[in-house]
A = this chain, B = another copy of it.
Amino acid sequence: MSWVTGADGSPYGVTNLPYGVFRHDGQPPRIGVRVADVVFDLAAAEDAGLVLAAGALRRPTLNAFMALGRPQWTSVRQRLVELLTDPAHRPAVEPLLVPLDAVELLLPFEVADYVDFYSSEHHAGNVGQIFRPGQPPLLPNWKHLPIGYHGRAGTVVVSGTPVVRPSGQRATGEGPTVGPSVRLDIEAEVGFVVGVPSALGDRVPTGDFAEHVFGVVLVNDWSARDIQAWEYQPLGPFLGKSFATSVSAWVTPLDALADAFVPAPQQDPPVQDYLRQTPHLGLDLRLAVEWNGERVTEPPFAGMYWTPAQQLAHLTVNGASLRTGDLYASGTVSGPRRGQVGSFLELTWGGAEPVSVGGETRTFLADGDTVTLRATAPGPDGTTIALGEVAGQILPAR
C-alpha cells in the first residue's frame, strides 16, 4: 500500500518504479522515479539524505547509478519502496513529487554502444519469405547464434522526439536514385541496458546476466526499407537504420520484472555451451503497436528464440568488453500470427497487403504518422506493471 495518490492498482505502482531523467522548471536534468502520475525527484531525495547512492542520483544521467551494481540497485529500490509506502515518510517525500505532466522527459542514460539483435524466429522467417521466396526462410547460422550487429549510438533518442524522414539512395529499375525514403517502417523491440562493465578479453556467462544488466527499455528501431535493401550487401544495415532509434524515457529495473521471467522456447539444435542458460528463461512482456492511436499488432516477447542472457553471452564470447550505458536490443519482436508482428514490413507483407489505419490505407509510414509502442508485464500477485511507452511522429524529409 502506497500513500501516493493513485499508486495502488496503477501499472506504475510501487512494484514498478522505473527510473528516468527529467527537467522541471528550467532546472538542470535530474534523476527521478515514476510512481502513478508523479515523478519522485531522487536528486532532491539524495540531497536530503532520504536515500543514499554515493551521489549517483544527483547526476544528469543514470549512468553513474547504473555502474554501482546490483546490491546497490536493490538496496536503493528497497529504500524507495519504504519511502513511498510508510506514511511516516510522507511529510519529507511528498514535497519532492512532481506531476508527470509538468516535466520534460530526457534520454535517461548516455548510450555507450548500441547493438541490435535479430532474435525472433517468426520475424526472421517472415523477412526470409518476403525477400527470398521459395528458399529456406532462415539462413544456416540463425539457430546456432543470435545474429546481431552494431547500430549508431549517437542517434538513439528519447520517446517523443520527432523523426525526420530520412533521405538516401534506393534502387530503381534504371539504377539508384536519391530521395526521401518511400518505405519507412518501425521495429518493435525490447532493449537491455548494461550497468556494470566487463573487462576487455573477458566473457560474461549467461548466468551473470543480472549482475550486468540494470534494466529494460522499449525500443523503436525505425527502418527505411528501401535504403536498407540497396545498401546492406555485404556489410549489413547502415543508413537505413542510423537516422534514429527511439527508446522509452523510463528504464524498468530488472527487479521490477521478477515475476515476468518464464521458460523460453526450446532450442533445437542444442546450442553451444557458452549459450546454455540454466534455467532457460525469457521475459513475458506483452507489446502493443499503435499506429495513429490505433492498436494494430500485439507482439509477444515471451516467444523470442534467443533470450537476453544468451545475447549478452554471445556479445562477449570474443572478449568484447561491456561499458556502462551499452544498449542491446532484441530485434523485432514478432509472434506467429499477423496480428503479432513487430514491423509494418510484415504487417503488410512487404507492402503487398495494405492495411486500414484510422480509415486511411497504409503500407509504410506517411508524414505526420505517429507510432507508439507500449508493453506490460506480470507483476506480483496477479498484478500488471507497465513499461514506459516509446512514441515518435514522422516529420517530412528536409
Residues of chain A whose beta carbon lies under 8 Å from any beta carbon of chain B: 112-113, 115, 118, 139, 141, 144-145, 147-155, 157, 164, 166-169, 171, 175-176, 178, 200-203, 224, 227, 230-240, 242-244, 269, 272-274, 314-315, 317-323, 326, 395, 398
Find the B residue at minimum CB distance from A243: B318
- Asked if residues A235 and B149 are in contact (CB atoms below 8 Å), the reply is yes
Q: How many copies does the complex hold?
A: 2
- Asked if residues B164 and A238 are in contact (CB atoms below 8 Å), the reply is no
Complex interface: chain B residues within 8 A of A166 (CB): 318-319
- Asked if residues B326 and A154 are in contact (CB atoms below 8 Å), the reply is yes
Complex interface: chain B residues within 8 A of A153 (CB): 112-113, 153
Q: A113-B152, A145-B176 are in contact. List 9 more A-B contacts (CB 8 A).
A: A139-B234, A141-B231, A147-B231, A150-B238, A154-B323, A178-B272, A232-B236, A239-B314, A239-B318
- Asked if residues B235 and A237 are in contact (CB atoms below 8 Å), the reply is yes
Complex interface: chain B residues within 8 A of A326 (CB): 154
Per the bound structure, the CA–CA distance linking A326 and B233 in Å amounts to 23
With A154-B112, A157-B200 in contact, do A164 and B319 touch (Cβ < 8 Å)?
yes
**Complex partner residue of A272 from B152, B169, B231, CB under 8 angstroms:** B169
- Asked if residues A235 and B236 are in contact (CB atoms below 8 Å), the reply is yes
**Complex partner residue of A230 from B141, B155, B178, B239, CB under 8 angstroms:** B141
- Asked if residues A238 and B319 are in contact (CB atoms below 8 Å), the reply is no
